[in-house]
Amino acid sequence: MIKMTRVATVGAAAAGLMAFLVPNVMASSPGQQPPAAPAKGGPHGKPAPSPQTLRALADRAGIHIGTAVNADALAGEPQYADLVGAQFNSVTPENAMKWDAVEPTRGTYNYTQADQLVAFAKAHGQLVRGHTLVWHNQLPSWVTAGDFSAAELREILHQHITAEVSHFKGKIWQWDVVNEAFNEDGTLRDSIWLQKLGPGYIADAFRWAHQADPKAILFYNDYNIDGVNPKSNAVYDLVSSLRKQGVPIQGVGDQGHLDVQYPAPHDIATNLARFDKLGVQTAITEADVRIPLPADNTEVEAQNEAYQTLLEGCLLTRHCTDFTVWGFTDKYSWVPGTFTGEGQANIYDENYQPKTAYTAISQDLTLAGR
């Protein structure tokens, strides 16, 4: 019973947005099966018509479509790599640019996996989102257990940002400079950075990143900021204040990690529109929609609509430039390892077959034409 109520809310929201965006799409069946994996050849040797890729549709819609990329899968699984190259025109390293991957011991940098992704992106005509420079997670123990003075830690952060952004200078489209700095109530998260450096660490991080690569577009990135709520209000106030001070921040990333157990963010377009007015761009940076397992048909339908709610929010926002999914296949999703009993959050299944969520995204992109 509870489930039905929640689903009805998600469905109503998506239907509302959809009607505004593309009235005629409501005639199509949301549960219809997507095309199977691209056919290599039709009967009698004739080439089969190939379905439009997401990136071809996104090009026409004037938006970038991206995916987070698992470095091991990219290197080891041709089918994975083929789909990254064919379907997306932007990529984000899922882990390879995080602090623990890049600077596992002080002053020793390892860019091997990140460089491989940047090279892959160049070969496939893709843009790269850099992720992420300042975060409370995936920090090496030499940072967290180092017992540094404030001055030392500030210099360590400065060095890390300068080294990493300089290494990739000219190759990164958008950098997630600061990630997840707020609590749900809009107060600043009690991270090592806030504790030791005070709230000024945020402005410092943007200034240092800008010095190292003046052309990269610098983002603040967080979750649960899809709609208007205390956390997104705090992000709005932060960005407004930083812009007034002349701090180089040019974008806000809405991660978009959703769960069919909760209503989809109906007011996402309202939320993103206010960032347009501040003069920054926005992006959906980590979209996925998890389901308590086993998933039933109603939950799958809610998932399709939740993906559409996020994408339509972006399409309706003039300066929302990209929509990135946090991995495209259930085979390599972070969800089962993080949210007990949940999964099937992505747009392809574990066997690389596109799911109905893929169709839902294709439909929105097909009809967007902005």
Residues known to be catalytic: 180, 286
255 binds ligand XIL (CB under 6 A): yes
219 binds ligand XIL (CB under 6 A): no
- Residue 182 has what DSSP assignment? B
Q: Is the dihedral of CA 208, 211, 212, 214 positive or negative?
A: positive
Instruction: Identify whether the C-beta of residue 25 lies closer than 8 Å to the C-beta of residue 283.
Output: no
Of 223 and 307, CB closest to ligand XIL: 223
Query: Measured at CB, which residue is nearest to ligand XIL?
Result: 334
> Contact with ligand XIL (CB under 6 A): which of 51, 55, 94, 328?
94
Of 334 and 358, CB closest to ligand XIL: 334
Closest approach, Cβ 39 to ligand XIL, in A, equals 32
Size of the site for ligand XIL (CB under 6 A): 6
Of 134 and 361, CB closest to ligand XIL: 134
Which amino acid belongs to residue 15? A
95 binds ligand XIL (CB under 6 A): yes
Of 329 and 359, CB closest to ligand XIL: 329
Q: Could you give the string, one character per residue 136-175, with x where binding to ligand XIL holds by CB under 6 A and - elsewhere? A: ----------------------------------------
Q: Which residue has the tokens 């892959």?
A: 120
- Spatial separation of the C-alpha atoms in residues 176 and 60, rounded to whole Å: 26
- Spatial separation of the C-alpha atoms in residues 255 and 225, rounded to whole Å: 8
179 binds ligand XIL (CB under 6 A): yes
Q: In the range 266-305, which residues lie near ligand XIL by CB under 6 A?
A: 286
What tokens appear for 119 in the block? Answer: 């090279």
Q: Is 186 left (phi over 0), alpha (psi -120 to 50) or beta?
A: left
Closest approach, Cβ 304 to ligand XIL, in A, equals 22
What tokens appear for 330 in the block? Answer: 């259930």
Closest approach, Cβ 225 to ligand XIL, in A, equals 12
Euclidean distance between the first and the last CA atom of the chain, given in angstroms as a whole number: 39
> Contact with ligand XIL (CB under 6 A): which of 182, 201, 206, 334?
334
Closest approach, Cβ 288 to ligand XIL, in A, equals 9
Closest approach, Cβ 158 to ligand XIL, in A, equals 22
Of 30 and 327, CB closest to ligand XIL: 327
The closest alpha carbon to 70, from 52, 86, 83, 55, belongs to: 83
Partners of 134 in beta bridges: 178
Instruction: Identify whether the C-beta of residue 75 lies closer than 8 Å to the C-beta of residue 114.
Output: no
SS3 for 263-322 is CCCCCHHHHHHHHHHHCCEEEEEEEEEEEECCCCHHHHHHHHHHHHHHHHHHHCCCCEEE
In total, the chain counts a number of residues equal to 370
92 binds ligand XIL (CB under 6 A): no
Of 94 and 299, CB closest to ligand XIL: 94
- Spatial separation of the C-alpha atoms in residues 275 and 262, rounded to whole Å: 24
Closest approach, Cβ 239 to ligand XIL, in A, equals 18
Interacting residues toward ligand XIL by CB under 6 A: 94-95, 179, 255, 286, 334
